[in-house]
Structures are given as C-alpha cells and as structure tokens.
Amino acid sequence: MEGFMEYLRDFNLVTVTVRLLLAFIFGGVIGMDRERKGRPAGMRTHILVCLGASMTTMSGFFVVHTLGMESDPLRISAQVISGIGFLGVGTILITGRMHVKGLTTAAGLWTTASIGIALGAGFYEGALLCTVLSVIAISVLYRLENLLGSKTAVIEIYIELKDVDQTNHVVSLLSTEEYKVYKMQITPSRSGLANNIGIEALLRLDKTESKSEALNKISSLPEVAFALETV
C-alpha cells in the first residue's frame, strides 16, 4: 500500500490523470449540493475550480521538476487562493438587512480550490478528508441549523395580490402582524395577470412559527393570489 501511494506521488502521465479525475469527482461532490439548491455556482463551477486549481499546481511542479527551472513549485498555485475570491464575490448577494446569500457557496468555492491544490500536489489523504468534511458542513450541518431554528426565523417572500387596490391594506396588515418587516417593495406581478401586483418582503417570523406556517397564513388572506418563498 505504501509503495502504491509513493507511486501516486510521482509526477508522470498516470498520476496527472489520477489527480485530474479525483479533482473532477471531489469538485462535483461538493458542487452537487449547491446545484440541488439552485445556487449560482453549481456542480460544473465547482468541478472547473477544482480542476483548474489542480492543473495550476501541477504546472508549477512541471516547470520545476521536468523543465528543471529554479522556482517555487507552489508559487503559481498560491495565486489561486487569492484569485478565487473574485469568483466567490460574484456569488454573494445582500438581499436585505441581516440577510446575506451566497456566503456558503463562496466559501465552498474557496475550499474546492484548496482541495484542487492538494490533489495537484499529491496530498490525496488531505484532499479526501477535506472533501468529506466539506460535504458534512454543507449538507448535514445545514439540516442541523434548520432543526435548531437559526435560519427559520427569517424568510424572504413574494406575495401576489389579486387587486392593485388591495396593496396598502396587505402592506399594513403585514406590518401589524407578528412579523418584523426588514424590507418590502412593490413589483410587477410574476403571473402576468393585468390587475395583479407583487410584493417582495423580508420578514422575521415569530420563533414559534415555521416558514411553511407563515406562507400558509399569508396565502389564506382573501386579497392574496399566492405566496412563495424566494430563493
């Protein structure tokens, strides 16, 4: 087993292929959860980030060990860590006070790049362990946070009204209910019906009320055509 691992740490066509294939798999595993949740950076983005980081690292080793140039083999890959920040920033959206989206995706991209660098350097054990822990953090701990109620207290919701004339009434009703309104704006109707109007709102719910209960309560109002949580 030790001899096999030592072989995988060598730099040749076989080990380059293995590292790129593992980068493809590990990046896809992390990106799968983001893809399922409809995030801007999904499975393909995470795969490309991991592949690119791995290839960049191996290019550094190729320059030093194969071409014989005197340089730090990890100098190029060090720029990946700082450069990936620009890609991560593009996934972060501030949708309202105390409500920021995309931080987990941005952190996932950064971690995926780190995994790619580890694979490119032949650090398979660290890359595998980091991938497993990343999947646990993204998927399992997300459910734990919801169970503890840390994320169910705030909901971003779209409400479509049947009549434009009912807008002020519904807005005042939401403001006087048990919800704390962080953001509210009037938008064109998503259904396209002529007399309908939309409301986008960011609400903090009562701790005893779930998101589904709040949606059902708001949807049951006679003035409301439908209400849904925006992602």
Domain that residue 159 falls in? 154-229
pLDDT in tens, 145-161: 666 655 446 788 899 99
Out of 124, 148, 172, a domain closes at 148
- Kindly provide the b/e burial profile for residues 7-41, where b requires at least 16 CB atoms within 10 angstroms of the residue's own CB: eeeebeeeebebbbebbbebbbbbbbbbeeeebeb
Q: Tell me the CATH number at 181.
A: 3.30.70.260
Mean of the pLDDT values across residues 159-186?
Answer: 80
pLDDT in tens, 106-126: 888 899 999 999 999 999 999
Of 7-21, 27-41, 80-94, highest mean pLDDT: 7-21
pLDDT in tens, 50-64: 999 999 999 988 887
pLDDT in tens, 196-228: 888 888 887 776 777 888 888 888 888 899 998
| pLDDT tier for residue 97 given thresholds of 50, 70 and 90 | very low
Out of 148, 176, 210, a domain closes at 148
| pLDDT score at 94 | 55
Mean of the pLDDT values across residues 162-186?
Answer: 79
Pair (178, 122) in one structural domain: no
| pLDDT score at 148 | 62
Q: Which is more confidently placed, 68 or 185?
A: 185
This prediction's pTM: 0.60
Q: Which is more confidently placed, 156 or 127?
A: 127
Query: Taking Cα atoms as reference points, which of 17, 39, 206, 22 lies closest to residue 126?
Result: 22
Pair (131, 189) in one structural domain: no
* Range of weakest confidence among 78-87, 153-162, 189-198: 78-87
Pair (100, 196) in one structural domain: no
| pLDDT score at 100 | 59
Out of 125, 148, 171, a domain closes at 148
Task: Give the Cα separation of 86 and 82 in Å (integer).
Answer: 8
